[in-house]
Amino acid sequence: MKKAKKGVKKTLKVTWFGHASFLIESPEGKRVLIDPWLENPKAPPGAKDIQNVDVILVTHGHSDHVGNTVEIAKRTRATVVAIFELSTYLRSEGVETVTGMNIGGTLELDGLKVTMVDAKHSSDFEVAGKTVSGGEPSGYVVEFENGYTVYHAGDTAVFGDMQLISRLYKPRAVMLPIGGLYTMGPREAALACDLLKPRHIIGMHYGTFPVLSGTPRQLKKNLPSAMKKRVIELEIGREVVIS
């Protein structure tokens, strides 16, 4: 992947809306919204009324990840990216700006590179009261215009090919589920960090409900000493700059 231009700062603005929902803004103003369930129990009031979104990435078909995608996409005209099967469903719901892709592919969007990568989970959605396959679950690696690369793992267990994600894309920041039960917990996420070797580690998919009991503190406990300080515990709704 391309290197950042000389003199361009490798920084991003990141806002966590709870669960697996993030807004990432580049120095050049590109705004990427991931898994926008902005009515989750921890989301700030009015989060679903977000404006000025350029790209929406959906990792899989479960309702706690598709969330408010349809209404936000219709309002903002953001480009929506999802695995092909899920993209056809979103189009049937009136999302005209959706682009389908598949695992291993890279999509270039106005200076960004979006690569869909594997995840170990399930994926479905409901249509007329029936459960329908949503294709394979996925994660995303996004390279921003300044060369900053972020890996959002989606819902997943730890898996050995995270080493390949590290080798190919060298993610500077990673967003990993740590809640347990439906995804990996802190112990497994710590192993994922060892495979990925990021500069910044952000836990997600925890605390939304009592059963998602993993915490950043537990994640730190399971990390090697050299990695403990790389964990960033985000406050929901508060924008932070990572470099």
pLDDT in tens, 84-113: 999 999 999 999 999 999 999 999 998 999
Length of the chain: 243
Distance in angstroms (rounded) separating the CA atoms of residues 72 and 55: 11
pLDDT of residue 126: 82
- pLDDT at position 133 is 85
At residue 6, the pLDDT reads 57
Proportion of the chain above pLDDT 70, given as a percent: 97
Q: Cα 133 vs. chain centroid, distance in angstroms?
A: 21
Model confidence at 151, pLDDT cuts 50, 70, 90, reads: very high
Distances (CA, A) of 126 to 121, 129, 131, 173: 17, 6, 5, 33
**12-242 falls under which CATH superfamily?**
Ribonuclease Z/Hydroxyacylglutathione hydrolase-like (3.60.15.10)
- Residue 65 main-chain phi, psi, to 5 deg: -125, -40
Torsion sign across C-alpha atoms 160, 182, 208, 74: positive
Enter the pTM of the model. 0.96
User: Given a cut of 90, is residue 7 above it in pLDDT?
Assistant: no
